[in-house]
Amino acid sequence: MASIAIDGPAGAGKSTIARRIARELSYIYVDTGAMYRAMALYLLKNQIPVQDREQMEEACQNADISIVYENGEQQVIINRENVTDQLRTEEVGKMASVSSPNEKIREKLVQLQRKLAKTADVVMDGRDIGTKVLPDADLKIYLTASARVRALRRYGELSEKGIPCDLDEIEEDIKKRDERDMNRAVSPLRQAEDAVLVDTSEMKIEDVVSEILRIYSTRSEVQ
């Protein structure tokens, strides 16, 4: 099975690019964020208290989470139940923010993500895909952009939705998140030694997709 790992800081466009790459290649896009939300939902359904680390770690071992596509739409499955429509609630989001840093939960999800990569050609994005989840991926991309550019993108998204926001505050938040991600104890954000750096600061989405497909095609020919 073939695999492409795309890592990088928040706001670099990883999910957008990963989806486009997967569509172009007819690969499965593995939304790792949705998998963390699915685990959070599983913990909520089993009434695991957020403050009970031991119970969370024990319960997560019984969750089998997978991603499939039906009519081109991503479906998230937990223990054979389609939970796609239940993942975007505020309650699930809060539980995900508490449960996702847990080392045992991350280990379980890494195991499930590797399982997916063994059964299908995949494009996976995150912050530790090339360094932790798929260290033997056929292609590793480290996608980045300046903090200012990422802030401008986020500012544009929020403004379109009519949400009041401050550009400088957004940029500061992004810098703080970068700092946290790069210095966290478990699987910190870093560029894999064999990853190709792609800086999207001055690039359009179509140009980024074309560049990654070109790199992948070249790698495939060599192999």
Write down the pLDDT at residue 19: 93
Give the count of beta carbons closer than 10 Å to the beta carbon of residue 15: 16
Q: How far apart are CA 96 and CA 109, in angstroms?
A: 13
Q: How far is CA 175 from CA 37, 49, 126, 147, 200, in A?
A: 24, 32, 17, 7, 17
**Terminus-to-terminus CA distance in the chain, angstroms?**
14
Q: How many residues does the chain have?
A: 223
Which tens digits make up the pLDDT trace of 172-212? 999 998 898 888 877 788 999 999 999 999 999 999 999 99
| Whether the predicted pLDDT of 133 surpasses 90 | yes
CB-CB contact of 4 with 124 (8 Å): yes
pLDDT band at 98 (very low <50, low <70, confident <90, very high): confident
Q: How far apart are CA 33 and CA 100, in angstroms?
A: 10
Which tens digits make up the pLDDT trace of 28-80? 999 888 999 999 999 999 999 988 899 999 999 999 999 988 887 889 999 99
Q: How far apart are CA 29 and CA 101, in angstroms?
A: 23
**Domains of the chain from N-terminus onward:** 1-27+122-223 (3.40.50.300), 29-120 (3.40.50.300)
Amino acid present at 41: L
Among the listed residues 116, 110, 103, 112, the one whose alpha carbon sits nearest the alpha carbon of residue 53 = 103
Strand partners, 67: 76
With a pLDDT cut of 70, the percent of the chain lying above it is: 99
| Whether the predicted pLDDT of 222 surpasses 70 | no
CB-CB contact of 117 with 124 (8 Å): yes
